[in-house]
Amino acid sequence: MDMPSPDAGALARRPALLAELAAVVARDALISDPVGLRAYECDALTAYACTPLAVVLPGSTGEVAAVLRICHAAGVPVVPRGAGTSLAGGALPTADCVVLGVARMTEVLEVDTADRLIRVQTGRTNLQVTAAVEEAGFFYAPDPSSQLACAIAGNIAMNSGGAHCLKYGVTANNLLGVTLVTMEGEVMEIGDGHLDAAGLDLLGLICGSEGQLGVVTEATLRILPQPEGARPVLMGFASAEAAGACVADIIRSGVLPVAIEFMDRPCIEACEAFSGAGYPDCEALLIVEVEGSEDEIAATLRRVLAVAAAHDPVATREAADADEAARIWLGRKSAFGAMGQLGDYICLDGTIPVSQLPLTLRRMSELAQARGLRVANVFHAGDGNMHPLILFDANTEGQLETAEALGADILRLCVEVGGCLTGEHGVGVEKRDLMTAQFSAGDLEMQMRVKDVFDPRWLLNPAKVFPLAASAARREAAA
Amino acid sequence: MDMPSPDAGALARRPALLAELAAVVARDALISDPVGLRAYECDALTAYACTPLAVVLPGSTGEVAAVLRICHAAGVPVVPRGAGTSLAGGALPTADCVVLGVARMTEVLEVDTADRLIRVQTGRTNLQVTAAVEEAGFFYAPDPSSQLACAIAGNIAMNSGGAHCLKYGVTANNLLGVTLVTMEGEVMEIGDGHLDAAGLDLLGLICGSEGQLGVVTEATLRILPQPEGARPVLMGFASAEAAGACVADIIRSGVLPVAIEFMDRPCIEACEAFSGAGYPDCEALLIVEVEGSEDEIAATLRRVLAVAAAHDPVATREAADADEAARIWLGRKSAFGAMGQLGDYICLDGTIPVSQLPLTLRRMSELAQARGLRVANVFHAGDGNMHPLILFDANTEGQLETAEALGADILRLCVEVGGCLTGEHGVGVEKRDLMTAQFSAGDLEMQMRVKDVFDPRWLLNPAKVFPLAASAARREAAA
């Protein structure tokens, strides 16, 4: 993985930089010793690691602005970091950068149930946002699998989704406003707590911008009333394609479950061994969750099962009570941990039209065979957001590279069938050079010109999102 | 209303421009005679009118690109136009411009129920989008009051909402991709039919950009399965504040109706006289619509009525059948027509936090009194999108100006209580000089720099959205 290295000058200027940073944050908020820095060398894409010049963990928007002003004046790149759960290397440091983490900024600033919103500092975890409003009968809808750990800052940077976004939309659909600090240290309030905004909608641009435009320190999020009830049904199928076809038919039938999750055999077996969820012995399973009153749940599940019948399910199980529902979800939510026990894997994140699920699953398995690797699948099927896990052995020479090549094959396939390089993990470093598979040179140039507006010197989250050669050229031209 | 005038040069070059335009569109698609141009002098903000140099009505994206290339080369400003229903002057011509209307581009390009999307040319009206999918059991959610007439192009330009956006979100929440033609005539595909996109999310930026960044010729829209059933309840109150407080309490209670509409006495009386909807004699009424199965509707309406009881409703009426439901909605949907019969009015469009409804209604009525005018209210209360109608007499010297001044007072009030200058009508010419009430100089500069990226010469939809002095300076600097 090519990343910019520090020049001799950057290292020489490091002591002065550290002194300046120390003056604007709390004593324990500046990390510069090698042991302390280790924890920030990588994010959840652990195949890559790089030690930054320093890490700062400011306690307020004002401190974030002060840190950015210092780095901007010194021409030092800044890598913003939430909880560091990025699977795409979105928070991977460069050797010449300062990592700016918002993990200590976890306050709830405002809860307003009449206006259906909560305002938080963005270091707060996703699940802790819901925790702050659940007693009042509300919840925050986007629910990435990492919701226990991941920070709202990262959710906004990557426009995260989750199992329930089939019904409730992704982060962009639930974000009402942000406080953004630009690389120059200017604090901007963007969005105003409403779904629309006057003037150009910079909020829509900020959401999903992967730390390229500024550091988001506070966010106003839409909260929703909790549904009366919810119940999952588990359905096993004789082939992955049958399960895929069933998903397309459910959506086509006009039923809108709150979630449709897909797992194939390798994943089912790993999850079963890990969590004992009681999953059936089959090639693929779907977890379909519906919401509403008891009657509505029963009626909707009847419709789902009627559609599924055409695909000859080998097993179906409705959750009889809350415990059983929890156990069905436990298996799914532990999937990534469970797969980790089987060995090394790369978790991909592509999106495809739901109608293309059966075709994509078949072609993916052919691509894997051609590279001599196995792929396990566990993903949000209802909205076509796939998470193929490529299994490999990091200790076998060349396997990581083969796995990466297969990952690129699969993501190109997603684009080919009418999909997108990323659903919710972002481009990060992982997919920067695949961007040309999705976007024309003109499209990318337009995106980079928008980046120019917010970060003219290209100091924010360097070497990510855009093809490396393109962003390096941009940074050099601006220097 | 100050708008740029054509210089002598522009008029001298007009014949050559017309010849060039005639060569790239159908014979009847270029309008240049004074009588034909009359129809395009204004949009639904009829207080202002201006004759453009010419109007072109291309039949395809390719023709739109050709027209834009010609205008760009000639340095002629272009005013994009959908159906011309803008209430904010979003499609008001300047004397030196070509109006580019997409009204003849009405095709359905693709319907895909498995992927829950429809792709249309943007001249298609909002209601005709739903018409194309309703037999399959789906609908397009955003439903502005003008949905019979308004084009998807304008919905995207203004990020339109509607009565049902309380539950389903505004256009931005239902837009999956667009074909955009830049002022230079370059065709870009933005968004890919999914809720997330790789790279910077230009789609979020395009939506609501009021024709400042390009001309949107095709759009991919999310469609939703039709609800099993829906039923409105009508509730009358002894004061506007009581009705406003009831709205805040409904939202706070965690019920999420699909729509909550508000009307005050002047509006109720006008609608009743116009449509005979059977509205009660009261100071304010709410129409609350809920969706779902019969049981769910009944249960939800019980909760709504229980909340409302605390505000002493003077009348409540549940729709007993579809006919009665239609009649309840008929009154609301005819509100703008009905008000027109009473005399001249300006329809405002501000958004406020729902919790501030009672306060805002009271202060608004004080502001109106101070200016000696009356205000009628009919609006989407559930999400705080207000549409105060300022009643005035255009034939009385100075009343238009007083009405405009009151409009500015009211919009400033919206911003003061934590809201926004516009909910769904956009800024247009109407609110361009109020933008400074909402945005700091730095915020506006950032928005204008983004405009620079897409339209460096500031030729697209001139003299709108940004304060006139600012946009004029920008255009001059680029010339």
Say which CATH number the domain at B154 has: 3.30.465.10
List the CATH number of the domain containing B271. 3.30.70.3450
Q: Give residue A162's pLDDT.
A: 85
Give the whole-angstrom CA distance, residue A108 versus residue A223: 13
Say whether both A115 and A193 belong to one domain.
Answer: yes
Give the whole-angstrom CA distance, residue B76 versus residue B96: 7
State the first-to-last Cα distance of chain A, in angstroms, to the nearest integer.
23
Rounded to a whole number of angstroms, the distance from the CA of A41 to the nearest CA of chain B is 24
Domain boundary among B68, B101, B134: B101
For B173-213, what is each residue's pLDDT tens digit?
899 999 999 999 999 999 865 555 677 889 989 999 999 99
Give domain status of residue A426, yes or no.
no
Domain boundary among A336, A363, A394: A336
Give the whole-angstrom CA distance, residue B171 versus residue A303: 29
Domain boundary among A53, A69, A101: A101
Tokens found for residue B157: 């330009």
pLDDT for residue B321 is more than 90: no
Say whether both B51 and B12 belong to one domain.
Answer: yes
Give domain status of residue B89, yes or no.
yes
Give domain status of residue B425, yes or no.
no
Q: Give residue B227's pLDDT.
A: 87
Q: How many CA atoms lie within 13 A of A282 on its CB side?
A: 23
Say whether both A443 and A464 belong to one domain.
Answer: yes
Q: What does the CA dihedral A148, A153, A158, A160 come to, rounded to 10 degrees?
A: 40
Say whether both B129 and B41 belong to one domain.
Answer: no
Say whether both A319 and A347 belong to one domain.
Answer: no
Structural domain count, chain B: 5
| Structure-token match 């006009």, residue found | A254
Q: Which amino acid is at B461?
A: N
Say whether both A365 and A446 belong to one domain.
Answer: no
Rounded to a whole number of angstroms, the distance from the CA of A405 to the nearest CA of chain B is 19
Give domain status of residue A47, yes or no.
yes
pLDDT for residue B284 is more than 70: yes
CB contact under 8 A, B194 and A424: no
Say whether both A21 and A41 belong to one domain.
Answer: yes
| Residue B460 DSSP label | B
Say whether both A221 and A315 belong to one domain.
Answer: no
Strand order in the sheet with A30-31: A30-31, A54-56, A98-101, A78-81
Q: Which residues of A are less than 8 Å from B167 in CB distance?
A: none
pLDDT for residue B335 is more than 90: no
Residue of B194, B356, B385 to mutate when probing chain A, most A C-beta within 10 A: B194
Say whether both A261 and A189 belong to one domain.
Answer: no
Give domain status of residue B421, yes or no.
no
Q: Give residue B398's pLDDT.
A: 94
Tokens found for residue A225: 């009333």
Better-predicted residue by pLDDT, A192 or B254: B254
Rounded to a whole number of angstroms, the distance from the CA of B393 to the nearest CA of chain A is 29
pLDDT for residue B320 is more than 90: no
Flag residues of chain A having pLDDT under 70: 1-6, 192-197
- Closest by Cβ to A447, choosing from B136, B199, B207: B199
| Structure-token match 């005399």, residue found | B343
User: What SS3 class is residue A342?
Assistant: helix
Q: Give residue B5's pLDDT.
A: 66
- Closest by Cβ to B450, choosing from A194, A254, A450: A450
Q: Which residues of A are less than 8 Å from B452 in CB distance?
A: 453
Give the whole-angstrom CA distance, residue A219 versus residue A152: 8
Cα distances (angstroms) measured from residue A452 to each of A212, A214, A443, A447, B417: 10, 12, 14, 9, 34
Mean pLDDT of B1-21: 81
Mean pLDDT of B338-359: 87
Give the whole-angstrom CA distance, residue A338 versus residue A323: 21
Beta-bridge mates of residue A218: A121, A179
Asked if B285 and B279 count as a contact pair (C-beta separation under 8 A), the reply is yes
Rounded to a whole number of angstroms, the distance from the CA of A52 to the nearest CA of chain B is 24
Q: Which amino acid is at B297?
A: I
Backbone angles phi, psi at B463, to 5 degrees: 65, 25
CB contact under 8 A, A202 and B447: yes
Better-predicted residue by pLDDT, A354 or B455: B455
Model confidence band, residue B306 (pLDDT cutoffs 50, 70, 90) = very high
pLDDT for residue B73 is more than 90: yes
- Closest by Cβ to B450, choosing from A173, A254, A453: A453
CB contact under 8 A, B353 and A114: yes
CB contact under 8 A, A442 and B418: no
Domain span at residue A359?
343-416
Say whether both B113 and B215 belong to one domain.
Answer: yes
Residue of A133, A195, A356 to mutate when probing chain B, most B C-beta within 10 A: A195
**How deeply is B22 buried, as exposed, middle or buried, from its count of CB atoms within 10 A (0-12, 13-18, 19+)?**
middle
Give domain status of residue A427, yes or no.
no
Closest by Cα among A114, A144, A147 to A129: A147
Model confidence band, residue B15 (pLDDT cutoffs 50, 70, 90) = very high
What is the average pLDDT value for chain B, to the nearest integer? 91
Mean pLDDT of B430-444: 90
Say whether both B152 and B117 belong to one domain.
Answer: yes
Give the whole-angstrom CA distance, residue B315 versus residue B282: 8
Q: Give residue B383's pLDDT.
A: 82
Give domain status of residue B270, yes or no.
yes
b/e map of A344-373 (b: 16 or more CB within 10 Å)?
bbbbbbbbbbbbbbbbbbebbbebbeebeb
- Name B249's Cβ contacts closer than 8 Å, sequence gap at least 6: A114, B307, B310, B311
Q: Give residue A40's pLDDT.
A: 96
Q: What is the CA radius of gyration of chain B?
A: 23
Asked if B140 and B151 count as a contact pair (C-beta separation under 8 A), the reply is no
Residue of A113, A117, A158, A196 to mutate when probing chain B, most B C-beta within 10 A: A196
| Structure-token match 């925790």, residue found | A131
Q: Find the residue in A nearest to B442 (Cα).
A: A188
Say whether both B242 and B351 belong to one domain.
Answer: no
List the CATH number of the domain containing A392. 3.30.70.2740
Q: Which residues of B are less than 8 Å from A417 in CB distance?
A: none
Residue of A156, A188, A194 to mutate when probing chain B, most B C-beta within 10 A: A194
Q: Which residues of A are less than 8 Å from B353 in CB distance?
A: 112, 114-115, 193
Give domain status of residue A298, yes or no.
yes
Beta-bridge mates of residue A56: A30, A100
Closest by Cα among B381, B438, B384 to B408: B438
Q: Which amino acid is at B343?
A: G
